[in-house]
Amino acid sequence: MSERLPPPDFNTLQYERPNMKWVCGKASCGQACRLGPDSKGRCRVTSECKPAYEIKPGEKTGRYRCTRPTEHGGPCPGGPLPDGTCCRRLTRCAPVLSLRAKRINFTICTVIVTTGLLLVALCGPARWNFISPGPLSQQHSTFTFAHRAKQDEKGNCAVCHTAARTGVASWFLNADKAKPGPHDFRELASTDPVGLTAIDQNCLQCHAGHSFHEPNVVDERSCGTCHVEHQGPGRMHSPPDSACLACHADSGVMQASIMSAASLPAAAFDYRPVQGREIFHEPRPRDGYTRVVHSFSRDHPEFEFIADRLKDPDTLKFNHQLHLGSTNVTAIKARKLTCSDCHQPDSSGYHFQRISFDLHCQQCHSLQFDVRNPGLRIPHGDAEHVRAFLQSATAVRRLCRRQTGVGRPGAGAGLRRGTTGAAAGGVRFGRGTGASRLFQRSPLGSRFRAGRRHRDGFGGISRLRLLPRSETVPYRRAAGDRSGSAGSLADPRQFQPCQSPRQRPQRRRQGALLGMPFGGKQQADIGHFAAAERNLRRVSQPQRRRLRKLLHVPQLPHPAEGFCDGPVMLIPTTIHGGLLPSRCRRFCRARIVYHG
Amino acid sequence: MRFSQQRGFGLTVLIILSVEIVLLHWFYAGSMTHLAYLTGWGLLSVILLLALYNGRKKVPFFPLLSSEEWLQFHIYAGLLTGVIFAVHISYRIPTGWFQGILAALYLLVMASGFFGLFISRSIPKRLTTRGGEVLFERIPAVRRQLQEQAEKLALESVGQSRSATIAEFYLRELKPFFEGAQNCTSHWSENASPVNHILTKISDVHRYLDEQERATLEKIAALVRQKDGLDYHYAQQMLLKLWLFVHIPLTYSLLVFTVVHVTLVFAFSGGAK
């Protein structure tokens, strides 16, 4: 930087007192008085000196002498006044706090402000949020928890923490009474497993008997040893390996668990709360899960679910994202779906009611499939019922034949027998079923042929396929029909002849173009029609018109707008394990039309 | 023991203790349910020991090691708290308002401590390099002396040369400079442009002065340099005192929060982990 400076000259006789609380007000100007303020911050100066009265030998009366020290200039030339006061009076200053005293005051103020803010935060309405070490997991953020908190009227924390039921002043007492307490260092440093604590008693109100673990636990361990809360939202963090190994690495504990399990009924191991859910249970090993494990990576056995290649048979998955965010759902409900539209609490308020198709799904996903027979619905929930319903087509056909005369040989208005369903897109029925035989004998049945490939094993209709050209086939309930079937297929004479075999390759190409996989062999569903619509937009206008005319691809309205008037029949055709695929449910709102 | 040896010994002890703490925590994390309580108590104990350093300075007559030894302990123990703090929070960022504020307070105290350590090591070297050592409390008196000398020179120049050029220049440009501490931020950043600006103005005035006045102005310029050195000392020594305005109050706030934290932990855990 610049050249090194010499130390400045100053009076070394003048002693500085940085530890004093008050300093002279003129010190900042470099004119601090010699005396300085007192301990209470009051200026004490009156004059530069206090003259001394001296009587010299041989004198009767003495005289005043100036006592100003040398470092402040020595005796003044004027000297003391006749009355013994200094002639050089000083103006008083306003002493100021030293830097150290200011720091102490600032520290005290900071501590006071900190304490005040803490008290405000701890006594205010947001104290639970303030002291919470983190958000609860989703398992403890449920309606059940909120309901319990409402019952306690002390907030969420009081459900688990006893201290939250008392005031701030009692927290110190609660802390002192804690087991182990703040001063129980021996217990704090102990490596013995911790038994049930005060907070665990509140856990057991919901999780009685270690209901989150196999019931053959031999040690009463604190829940918090393994299951640590306040680690953030989402699923509760899995227990660390060390928590599992505390028991599962001990052969004695595991042996005791086997003995304990022997005395428990089998139902005791079905400990997971069902709460209206269908839970997949893997079979429990003979000795339970008591194999001694020393390390998860070293000797932990493969999970049974993976080792035995188990599979949850329930393939139905509910798409929350679609239902809560789809514009289609919004249009149907005229508003967006919310959680409470389906998930409604039960009377106890602890759990939710089971989702019911009638209450929660049917409003949008009606099983009605014919607008002219609104009472005709596919049964829901039981695959056997659905099969029976589909088999009732036999009765439908019989009634149709009786009423219209159709069904007698030769009365089929040009319908050809034996048309290959795959190429012609005809409706097929399972071979050997009653429906198949009846249809084969009737003019209507002459259009269909039972095919081995299309048997579905249900003993009923296997598939309904696209027809190249068709007309509306209305359902009509027959008078006196008590067969259980809801209606009948009427006037099959409206059907047009199927395509000839020569037309099949062309149909396949067109079917592929129109979004129907496998060259139009695939069953018709709404997805195919939608794909066809999309594909049609990509082709030229004349080609589009020709294809439309040929295939009668319908303009499907949205289900919310009503039923389709076009010559389209959309029927849930494939039945998978007794469950109607979601796509099929959508068809049910459309009118049944055989499409060609 | 020389300073370098002292530092080597301190760092060695610090590293050994840190490694031990980390290993012990890793080893006992699974078996000791209340390990977080123990690390918490350990952390609080060390923080209290650190806070005692301020009290030790208030009782210099007490025969409890020298202040220098206390400072060394304060530095290395302070660094050790970082390790204990990390194992206490299990190497996770605390969530929640209270714990977040508590952790932030600790980090602020730690950061201010690092800053204090840095400036207490670097500023004395700077001051020695610059020269002109002076006690902080005596700086106002020395400044007053310089101001009086400069004013005297300016007044004398009027009588000697029968010209008020220097006096007017002093009143206009130099009087505010001599009246108080100036350019603290520039001195903290070792920026000499303010004093160079004044010296440039002084050299600009030279052309209007005769030889005698120039000699007087040179003396005033020397006083300006001395005053700038004094301001440099004032700024640096003030920084050595100001950082404690952050470190000490935050330490006591941290202690207040810690007391509440211990209370909450024991009251709400009910003995759980």
pLDDT, greater one: B260 or A447: B260
pLDDT, greater one: A285 or B13: B13
Residue A36, min C-alpha distance to chain B (Å): 14
Does B96 contact A134 at a Cβ distance shorter than 8 Å? yes
For residue range A518-558, what is the model confidence (pLDDT) as tens digits? 333 333 344 445 555 555 566 667 766 665 555 443 443 33
Q: What span, in angstroms and rounded, lies between the C-alpha atoms of A582 and A465?
A: 19
Choose among A106, A130, A199: nearest Cβ to B272: A199
Surface-to-core class of residue A138, CB atoms within 10 Å of its CB (0-12 exposed, 13-18 middle, 19+ buried)? exposed
Q: Does residue A146 have a pLDDT over 50?
A: yes
**Residues of chain B neighbouring A243 (CB-CB closer than 8 A):** 30
- A561 — contact with chain B (CB < 8 Å)? no
Q: What span, in angstroms and rounded, lies between the C-alpha atoms of A517 and A48?
A: 113
- B226 — contact with chain A (CB < 8 Å)? yes
Mean pLDDT over the full length of chain A: 66
Q: Does residue A385 have a pLDDT over 80?
A: no
Does B143 contact A30 at a Cβ distance shorter than 8 Å? yes
- A12 — contact with chain B (CB < 8 Å)? no
Choose among B98, B140, B262: nearest Cβ to A182: B262
Touching B: A residues 108-147, CB under 8 Å: 109-111, 114-115, 118, 121-122, 129-135
Cα torsion B246, B252, B255, B256: sign: negative
- Decide: helix, strand or coil at residue A476: strand
pLDDT at A373 (0 to 100): 65
Please name the residue ranges forming H helices in A552-593. 582-587
Report the chain B residue with the minimal C-alpha distance to residue A33.
Answer: B141
**Residues of chain B neighbouring A191 (CB-CB closer than 8 A):** 28, 31-32
Q: How confident is the model at residue A273 (pLDDT cuts 50, 70, 90)?
A: low
Q: Does residue A453 have a pLDDT over 70?
A: no
Q: How confident is the model at residue A78 (pLDDT cuts 50, 70, 90)?
A: confident
pLDDT at B263 (0 to 100): 92
Q: Own/partner pairs for A540-545, CB < 8 Å, 24+ apart? A: none
- B116 — contact with chain A (CB < 8 Å)? no
Q: Does residue A434 have a pLDDT over 90?
A: no
When pLDDT is averaged across residues B232-240 and rounded to a whole number, the result is 94
Question: What is the CB neighbour count within 10 angstroms for residue A468?
Answer: 25
pLDDT at A84 (0 to 100): 86
pLDDT, greater one: A317 or A446: A317
- A453 — contact with chain B (CB < 8 Å)? no
Choose among B32, B142, B272: nearest Cβ to A222: B272
Report how many Cβ contacts below 8 Å link chain A to chain B: 215
Question: What is the ipTM metric for this complex?
Answer: 0.91
Residue A352, min C-alpha distance to chain B (Å): 30
- A194 — contact with chain B (CB < 8 Å)? yes
Report the chain A residue with the minimal C-alpha distance to residue B128.
Answer: A4
pLDDT at A396 (0 to 100): 59
Contacts of A565 by beta carbon, 8 Å cutoff, 6+ apart:
A591
Q: What span, in angstroms and rounded, lies between the C-alpha atoms of A84 and A61?
A: 13
Contacts of A98 by beta carbon, 8 Å cutoff, 6+ apart:
A18, A19, A20, A21, A22, A23
For residue range A292-315, what is the model confidence (pLDDT) as tens digits? 998 888 888 888 888 888 877 766
Q: Does residue A415 have a pLDDT over 90?
A: no
The DSSP code for A446 is G
Does A6 contact B253 at a Cβ distance shorter than 8 Å? no
- A189 — contact with chain B (CB < 8 Å)? yes
Six token digits for residue A177: 């009474």
For residue range B154-191, what is the model confidence (pLDDT) as tens digits? 999 888 888 889 999 999 999 999 998 889 999 999 89
Q: Does residue A498 have a pLDDT over 70?
A: no
pLDDT at A513 (0 to 100): 47
**Residues of chain B neighbouring A180 (CB-CB closer than 8 A):** 34, 37, 271
- B256 — contact with chain A (CB < 8 Å)? yes
- B252 — contact with chain A (CB < 8 Å)? yes
Does B249 contact A191 at a Cβ distance shorter than 8 Å? no
